[in-house]
A and B are shown apart, each in its own frame.
Chain A
Amino acid sequence: MHSHDETDDENVYDALATADDDGRWAFGTGFDAGTAEIDAPVPDGVDRDDLATYCLMLADDALVASQRLSGWTTKAPELEEEVALANIALDLLGQARVLLARAGHLGAAEPYRGERSDGKGGCAGPQDDEDVLAYFRDDRAFRNVTLVETDLGDFAQTVAWLLVLASWRLALLRRLTGSRDPVLAAVAGKAVKELTYHRDYAAQWVLRLGDGTALSHARMQAGLEAVWPFVEELFTAHAVERRLVDAGVAVDPTELRWEVDAVLDQVLPAATLTRPERPAVGLVGGRGGRDGVHTEALGLVLAVMQSLARAHPEATW
């Protein structure tokens, strides 16, 4: 897979550690998201803090979903599916990184710099922002929807979760390609192609398992039922979103319902599955993941994702 060979003066691992000064921090990858677009000016009439929060919302959806999907690595039913889920996780991580870098550029990382125990509070740059935001925020500071933090259960529940998530995010980001914020528009333009592929993958599996054996059908229906209570929150607009919709920057999530429904109406009957009727959860007094009100599941996700970075903030590899 690699062009490097024995005669190269450096191998890939050396390159990771030395290519950029930032690479010495173990939890980066030695690449930064680039500065050509991240530092684009805030569009006229747009509140800087609102834009930063919105970037965090979309970043955290992708970051937490990516972390959840990564949990299948070494455990997927078949090698091909493991590669598929890891690839999807990687795409989502890539989307999250650019959005976190944009949020960081807009100042979202500043409150968390003190959390770093290595005394490098003054470090600047997109990569540093990404890492601070990913590893040094507590669960209350995450702005993801509840769906992405839920335990993925078995493979059937995972593909039900992915079908809902990819259909919703595709509908959202397709509209976001017209955002007045150039970074959001660029991230969305790239992500739409990826999400289309993720949705296809999930739909094919929902179809195969739903319209399969009696056992696979029962488990596919159960998986769908488990995911269903978290769907309603996806179509709930937060005050930040509403303000940014008015400013031509954000997408109104209440407009996405018909498009997601159309996908489910196409897939579920073909897969001989029944559309669940289960009460919504995820909102407490009208507040949910977008306000930092999460289920206990997020704490477990973050414990796995963040513990190494917090225990060894100066570790290198």
Chain B
Amino acid sequence: MTSALTDARTAAEAVVDPEMPMLTLADLGVLRGVETAADGTVVVTLTPTYSGCPALDEMRHDLRRALHEAGHERVEVRTTFSPPWSTDWISDAGRRKLAEAGVAPPDRLGPRPAGGPVPLTLHAPSRVVACPQCGAADTEETSRFGPTACTALRRCRSCGEPFEHVKEI
């Protein structure tokens, strides 16, 4: 690997998510590749968290700027949808940073069963989301949709604090 490519990767991986700035794009798992084309253009491949994620444009802009500042004049940011992002792409470091910032990280769901209808569960999910402030397990969901596409809102019954939870998809 050339040093220019290493530099470009380092610069791209350090860009932070516009909505959850405690995470880099590498932590979030949305960077799919950083390559250099024959003419020296740095080609970054990005995948959105959700189809309509409004932060995608900010990510592209921030990536271009970071790479320009790192001395790469020609930058192309491509978008890919396959394979689809899931919260399992968030790195261990990313999960730790979320918790440190008071955001409950998602569980790892692992490989999904392929084929067959997606089952509908009518009762509230029984899984425990621990409070990122006090660690208590006694928390409740207050809203299935939070301030960003990837978070839900919860409240801790023990310490009373509301908090965000990166919901598993």
Query: Cβ of A182 < 8 Å from any Cβ of B?
Result: yes
14 A-B residue pairs with CB within 8 Å:
A3-B16, A15-B58, A16-B57, A35-B78, A36-B80, A37-B81, A83-B143, A83-B145, A93-B51, A94-B50, A170-B118, A186-B84, A194-B169, A200-B120
A291 at the interface (CB under 8 A from B): no
Question: What number of A residues sit within 8 Å (CB to CB) of B?
Answer: 56
Q: Roughly how many angstroms separate A95 CA and B149 CA in the complex, as a whole number?
A: 14
Contacts of A90 in B (CB 8 A): 50, 52, 54, 149
> Is A36 within 8 A of B146, CB to CB?
no
Is B102 in contact with chain A by the CB < 8 A criterion? no
Tell me if A190 and B81 are in contact (CB < 8 A): yes
**Residues in A neighbouring B61, C-beta threshold 8 A:** 15, 19
B121 within 8 A of A: yes
Point out the residues of chain A lying under 8 angstroms from B117, CB to CB: 171, 174, 259, 262
B-side interface residues, number (CB < 8 Å) = 45
Q: Which residues of A contact B54 (CB under 8 A)?
A: 29, 90
12 other contacts beyond A2-B18, A36-B78, A194-B169, with CB at 8 A cut-off?
Answer: A3-B16, A3-B21, A30-B57, A31-B57, A35-B78, A37-B81, A80-B143, A94-B48, A95-B52, A189-B81, A190-B51, A199-B120
Across the interface, name the chain A residue whose C-beta is closest to B20.
Answer: A1
- With known contacts A90-B54, A194-B51, A98–B18 Cβ distance under 8 A: no
Q: Closest Cβ of chain B: how far from A43's Cβ, in Å?
A: 15
Query: Chain A contacts of B57 at CB under 8 A?
Result: 15-16, 19, 29-31
Q: Which of A116-124, A135-143, A201-209, A223-231 contacts B (4 or more CB under 8 A)?
A: A201-209
A92 at the interface (CB under 8 A from B): yes
Chain B residues, CB < 8 A from A197:
144, 167, 169
